Amino acid sequence: MHRVIEYRHLGANQHQLVIEAPDIARAAEPGQFVIVRTEERSERIPLTIADFDKNQGTITLVILAVGFSTEQLCELRAGDHILDVAGPLGHPSELENFGTVVFVGGGVGIAPLYPQVKAFKASGNKVIVILGVRSKDLLFWEEDFKSHCDQILITSNDGSVGKKGFGTDALMEVMNSEKVDRVIAIGPAVMMRAVAEKTGKIPTVVSLNPIMVDGTGMCGACRCTAEGKTRFACVDGPEFDGHTIDWDELVSRQRMYSEEEKMVKGENKVPA
């Protein structure tokens, strides 16, 4: 059992949970994820570790409430418990001094950028962060990012905060004005795909978010085509070369259970 230490609402259906998980916090590195099962009848869902504090023994999860399982998780408050949290899983991000690194975060994908931004900055990279949101109320952690990067650019689809447009527009501007050595994108598949299509020869890393069950490599639910081969995102990734992803396949596989997801949505919550 893992105690929820803190709950914060991050705007619209975005929620932040800080969870007691000392073993995971101790071992965690940027880029990794956990598998969470809220209670006995819940499914196992993957969530990227958005932040971790090795001294406090906590990890932070940022969750978009989009269906039954994520909604159930987002109803938890400080003092509540999560039945199972397993991790850290997946390969940590490849971290070196690459030169100038641009991070592009979309939606709740903004959150898992944070530990990477801190680590890349600490490794001597010039770090530029682009945060893309639909509108102002969905922007979060802006101040936290500012203290760990050289430049921050905000875009919103409706122009209510930062520049009107997409994260990719800001990325194009950066690429036109300076030499970029690496791009790291985390967000919805359509957004990561758009980034990968714009970066040409610049190495572009994306963090894939397919359906997972165990998260340890024993089932292949999360398989995707990357780097020309079938790979398991949970153990071979979740980060891959964004230029080699079969995006249509990823998006199609993400929708495999859309009918079933509708069936449980809005059902009565946690059984007593």
In the complex, least distance from residue 173 CB atom to other proteins, rounded to whole angstroms: 35
Candidate segments 23-31, 111-119, 141-149, 200-208, binder of other proteins by CB under 8 A? 23-31
Question: CA 116 to CA 119: how far, in whole Å?
Answer: 5
Q: Which residues pair with 223 in a beta bridge?
A: 232
CA-nearest of 221, 216, 254 to 88 is 216
**Interface pick for other proteins out of 151, 160, 225, 244 (rule CB under 8 A):** 225
In the complex, least distance from residue 223 CB atom to other proteins, rounded to whole angstroms: 6
Q: Does 18 bind other proteins (CB under 8 A)?
A: no
């994260």: which residue's tokens? 167
Measure CA 209 to chain center.
8
**Interface pick for other proteins out of 224, 226, 233, 245 (rule CB under 8 A):** 224
H-helix or E-strand spanning residue 34: strand 33-37
CA-nearest of 193, 97, 173, 160 to 130 is 173
Question: CA 87 to CA 126: how far, in whole Å?
Answer: 30
Residue 66 in tokens: 């989009």
- Per-residue binder mask for other proteins (CB under 8 A), 175-214, x = binder: --------------------------------------xx
- Per-residue binder mask for other proteins (CB under 8 A), 27-46, x = binder: x----x----x---xxxx--
| Cis amide leading into 203 (omega within 30) | no
Strand order in the sheet with 58-64: 51-53, 58-64, 14-20, 2-9, 81-82
**Interface pick for other proteins out of 56, 97, 123, 230 (rule CB under 8 A):** 230
Q: Does 167 bind other proteins (CB under 8 A)?
A: no
Tell me the number of residues near other proteins by CB under 8 A: 44
Q: Which of the residues 242 through 261 are near other proteins (CB under 8 A)?
A: 246, 248-249, 252-253, 255-257, 260-261
CA 71 vs CA 76, 152, 163, 261: distances in Å:
9, 31, 31, 12
HSE at residue 37, side-chain half, CA atoms within 13 A, is: 14
Cβ closest to other proteins, residue 89 vs residue 128? 89
Q: Does 3 bind other proteins (CB under 8 A)?
A: no
Q: Does 23 bind other proteins (CB under 8 A)?
A: yes
Q: Which of the residues 53 through 92 are near other proteins (CB under 8 A)?
A: 68-69, 83-89
Residues lying near other proteins in the complex (CB under 8 A) are found at 23-24, 27, 32, 37, 41-44, 68-69, 83-89, 213-214, 216-221, 223-225, 230, 235, 246, 248-249, 252-253, 255-257, 260-261, 263-264, 267
